[in-house]
Amino acid sequence: MSLTPVVRDEYSAPFFDGAARGELMLRYSPSSGAWSPPEARVCATSRAADLEWRAASGEGALVSWTVIPGRSRGGRPAADTVVGIVETAEGPWLTLRIVNAEEVAPAAGAAVRVEFVRPEGGESVPVARLVAGS
């Protein structure tokens, strides 16, 4: 399964600017000290409206995952896609494609590192890489 290109808007521009630099950008509330996911408009913990973009560590743990079977096209088999819910080290959960599930078996609690890929015609987007031996 290939990734569909995404296009930035004014609100998401800081997220995609960070992704282009290889940084996972999350929302942070200075008043509450809490992190929120990129799509948050107010703090997920306190509902404060003082969110700012900050670079996150890019580390996390796999909470759960699913396999989306590949669809064959024109008689050619297609690879399955593994998608996981990742709890970032900062707290927010993200749904990300897991890029190396055929090399490292997914397991609840497995360490992941966020990386970035750039689908043709789109912005850089985060994906998860399972850390071997975690």
Dump pLDDT digits (tens) for 32-53: 999 999 999 999 999 999 999 9
Q: Do the domain assignments include residue 66?
A: yes
Q: Do the domain assignments include residue 94?
A: yes
Pick from 30, 128, 107: which is nearest to 64 by CA?
107
Which residue range forms the structural domain that includes residue 65? Answer: 13-130
Number of domains composing the chain: 1
- Band the pLDDT of 56: cuts 50, 70, 90: very high
Q: Do the domain assignments include residue 3?
A: no
pLDDT of residue 131: 96
Q: Do the domain assignments include residue 74?
A: yes
At residue 84, the 3 state secondary structure works out as: strand
C-alpha distances out from residue 79 to 75, 105, 119, 133, Å: 13, 16, 17, 24
Mean pLDDT of the chain: 93
Q: Do the domain assignments include residue 4?
A: no
Q: Do the domain assignments include residue 84?
A: yes
Write out pLDDT tens, residues 85-94: 999 999 999 9
